[in-house]
Amino acid sequence: RRCNSKNLLRSYTVVASVAAILSLAQIITSNLLLQ
């Protein structure tokens, strides 16, 4: 089950990175629209 925990951690990091990219894209688009 340690392998499962590693997979969980890996999937969590992937989700966190995707969320960070989405938030960055939202900030960039909002800044472009404001300009």
Backbone angles phi, psi at 29, to 5 degrees: -65, -40
**33/16: higher pLDDT:** 16
Helices (H), 1-35: 2-34
pLDDT range class, residue 1, cuts 50, 70, 90: low
Number of domains in the chain: 1
Structural domain of 23: 1-35
Q: Does 3 score more than 80 pLDDT?
A: no
pTM for the structure as a whole:
0.66
pLDDT of residue 13: 97
Q: What is the mean pLDDT of residues 5-32?
A: 95
Q: What is the mean pLDDT of residues 4-26?
A: 95
